[in-house]
Structure 1
Amino acid sequence: MRGKICGIGAYAPENFYDNHDIAKIVETSDEWIRERTGIVRRHIADEDTTMSMAVKAARAALENGKVEAKELDLILTATITPNTIIPCVSCEVQKALGAENATCFDMSAACAGFVFAYNAAQAYIASGMYRTILIIGSETLSNIVNWEDRGSCILFGDGAGAAVIRGEEGEVFPCVTHSDGTMGEVLACESRHQKGWEEKEAAKQTYLSMNGKEVFKFAVKKVPEVIEELLGRTDYVKEDIDWFVLHQANQRIIESVAKRMKIDICKFPMNISEFGNTSSASIPILLDEMNRSGKLKRGQKIVIAGFGAGLSWGASLLEW
Structure 2
Amino acid sequence: MAFLQINNVRITGFAAGVPATIIRNDDSVVYSEDYDASAFVEMTGVHERRVDNTSCTSDLCYAASEKLIADLNWDKKEVGAIIFVSQTADYRFPATSCILQDRLGLNKECYAADVNLGCSGWVYGLSIAASLMQTGSITKVLLMAGDAKRVTSGDDPLFGFAGTVTALEYSSEAKPIDFHFGTDGSGFDAIIMPDGGARNGLSVESFNKETIDGKEYTRLQCRMKGMDVFSFGISIAPKSIKKLADFFGFDYQTFDYFVFHQANLKMNAMIQKKLKLDNAKVPISMPTFGNTSSASIPLTIVTQLKNKIENQPTKLLCCGFGVGLSWGTVAFETDNIVISDIVEI
| Equivalent AA in structure 2 for residue 106 of structure 1 | D
Instruction: Confirm or deny that 1:177 pairs with 2:181.
Output: yes
Contact 2:283 2:305 in 1 (8 A): no
| Equivalent AA in structure 2 for residue 275 of structure 1 | F
Is the alpha carbon distance of 1:93 and 1:268 closer, same or farther for their aligned partners in structure 2, counting shifts above 3 Å? Answer: same
Shift of 1:28: 2.1
Query: Aligned partners of 1:107 and 1:131: how far apart in 2?
Result: 21
Query: Aligned partners of 1:22 and 1:155: how far apart in 2?
Result: 15
Shift of 1:292: 3.3
Aligned pairs for 1:135-214 (under 5 A) are 135-140=143-148, 142-144=150-152, 147=155, 153-169=156-172, 170-192=174-196, 194=198, 195-202=201-208, 204-214=218-228
Contact 2:147 2:295 in 1 (8 A): yes
Is the alpha carbon distance of 1:146 and 1:23 closer, same or farther for their aligned partners in structure 2, counting shifts above 3 Å? Answer: closer
| Equivalent AA in structure 2 for residue 251 of structure 1 | L
Query: Aligned partners of 1:90 and 1:103: how far apart in 2?
Result: 9
Aligned pairs for 1:12-27 (under 5 A) are 12-20=18-26, 23-26=29-32, 27=34
Aligned pairs for 1:179-258 (under 5 A) are 179-192=183-196, 194=198, 195-202=201-208, 204-258=218-272
Is the alpha carbon distance of 1:297 and 1:241 closer, same or farther for their aligned partners in structure 2, counting shifts above 3 Å? Answer: farther
Q: What is the CA RMSD across the aligned residues, in angstroms?
A: 1.9
Alpha-carbon displacement from aligned partner over 1:152-197 (angstroms, at most 9, x marks no partner): x221111111111111123323111111100111111134255343
Shift of 1:308: 0.9
Query: Aligned partners of 1:196 and 1:189: how far apart in 2?
Result: 12
Q: Say which structure is richer in helix.
A: 1
Contact 1:254 1:268 in 2 (8 A): no
**TM-score (structure 1 length as normaliser):** 0.92
SS in 2 for 1:111: coil
Shift of 1:247: 0.9
Aligned pairs for 1:3-152 (under 5 A) are 3-20=9-26, 23-26=29-32, 27-100=34-107, 101-128=109-136, 130-140=138-148, 142-144=150-152, 147=155
Shift of 1:66: 2.3
Runs of at least 5 residues in structure 2 that lack an aligned partner in the other structure? 1-6, 210-217, 335-345
Partner of 2:8: 2
Q: What percentage of aligned pairs have identical amino acids?
A: 24
Runs of at least 5 residues in structure 1 that lack an aligned partner in the other structure? 148-152
Query: Aligned partners of 1:205 and 1:238: how far apart in 2?
Result: 42
